Amino acid sequence: MSTIYTALSQCVIRNVGAPTVADIIIYTAVSLCAIGIASSVILYFVARKFRVEEDPRIDRVEELLPGANCGGCGQPGCRGLAEAIVKANSLEGFTCPVGGASTMSGIATVLGLEIDTRLPRIAVARCNGDADRRPRSSHYDGYASCAVVHALYRGETDCPFGCLGLGDCARSCLFNALDMSAGGLPVISEEACLACGACVQACPRKIIELRDKGPKSRRVFVGCMNRDRGASPRKACGAACLGCGKCVKECSFEAIVIENNLAYIDPRKCKLCRKCVSSCPTGAINEVNFPPRKVALETMKFEPEN
């Protein structure tokens, strides 16, 4: 009898007390909804308790920026620049290379600040060592990247400072302002370059520099980065700076200095007289966007025929 009673009791429990599949689904759904509601309430009060008030001017400044997020301003994107400007409450030291002066002027108007007037700049490649002036001494057969070649060895020429010619700078430019010439050097577009600085960061040899465009986009700069002394620069490249100092002596405005056997022209002091260009024995100094030089015509003397 006890065995029969036990069996009947188990049947009743299974038929009456055991939850069905539908019950399990309902209980699960209700439990999840309750947990979600409770979590939402907790998160709401936590967010209100620890919320950080954000200056609404940041959104207004960000709307004025072009949204390129190129990093040329030195900040992590346009939002970062907007936050930095509003936090500093000043435009000194800040610039947007993509938007230019008009964008900064609009930001100054919105924030009631004075605009930081900065001369427009452009990227310049400080290397004249094309294929004709800097002959190859080896051949690289590998992944086409300046960074890779620079990490492996000096490159295909004997100049350890010159352009490697594999186009890392051109690939880094978001505005298609750089192309590699047939001679293996970067060609920078006057119209397309916005001086964002991406090519400067991409070049492992650091031959690209951001310089003032200059009046009428005219510039004078040394197209060489070779800091070796002695005869090795001239042997490696026919257009290398020799650090001879002739340009320094020729300059009347103290715009040129010799540092680490290399001449450098300060764009803020240079008066664009171009006397240094004529004095350089290797033609290492570049003059950009100048009209052709006037050629002095020698007086021709004719002897009368006999």
CATH of the domain at 274: 3.30.70.20
DSSP percent split of the chain into helix, strand, coil, nearest 5: 35, 10, 50
Nearest residue to 201 (alpha-carbon basis) of 147, 120, 265 = 147
Same domain, 68 and 208: no
Rounded to two decimals, what is the model's pTM?
0.69
**Same domain for 202 and 271?**
yes
Q: How far is CA 49 from the centre of its chain?
A: 41
Its domain, for residue 177, covers 121-288
C-alpha 133/C-alpha 156 separation (Å) is 13
CA distance 173 to 156: 24
Q: Left (φ > 0), alpha (ψ -120 to 50) or beta: where does 111 sit?
A: alpha
Does the residue 49 lie in any domain? no
H/E element, 123: strand 121-125
Alpha-carbon distance 278 to 281, whole Å?
Answer: 8
Which tokens is 221 given?
């700069």
Q: Are residues 186 and 242 in the same domain?
A: yes
Residues 197 and 269 in one domain: yes
Residue 275: name the closest of 246, 234, 304, 235 by CA: 246
C-alpha 200/C-alpha 81 separation (Å) is 20
Residue 159 lies in a domain: yes
Query: How high is the pLDDT of residue 117?
Result: 67
Does 156 share its domain with 280? yes
Cβ-contact 243, 229 below 8 angstroms:
yes
Question: What pLDDT tens digit does each residue of the chain (306 aa) get?
Answer: 445 445 444 544 454 556 787 878 888 888 899 999 999 999 888 887 777 677 889 999 999 998 888 887 878 889 999 999 998 888 887 888 888 778 888 998 889 888 766 678 899 999 999 999 999 999 999 999 999 999 999 899 999 999 999 999 999 998 899 999 988 999 999 999 988 889 999 999 999 999 999 999 999 999 999 999 988 999 999 999 999 999 999 999 999 999 999 999 999 999 999 999 999 999 999 999 999 887 654 444 445 544
In sequence order, which residues have a C-beta less than 8 Å from that of residue 114 and are 6 or more positions away?
Answer: 91, 108
Contact, 165 vs 188, CB < 8 A? no
Residue 306 has what pLDDT? 46
H helices of 130-194, in order, are: 146-152, 168-172
Asked whether residue 282 falls in the same domain as residue 178, the answer is yes
Q: Measured in Å, how far apart are the chain's first and last C-alpha atoms?
A: 160
Burial of 301 (0-12, 13-18, 19+ CB in 10 A): exposed
User: Are 227 and 170 in contact, with CB atoms under 8 Å apart?
Assistant: no
Same domain, 177 and 219: yes
Taking the C-alpha atoms of residue 192 and residue 14, their distance in angstroms, rounded to an integer, is 80
Q: Are residues 134 and 95 in the same domain?
A: no
Residues 90 and 208 grouped into a single domain: no
Looking at the structure, do residues 163 and 103 belong to the same domain, yes or no? no
Count: domains in the chain: 2
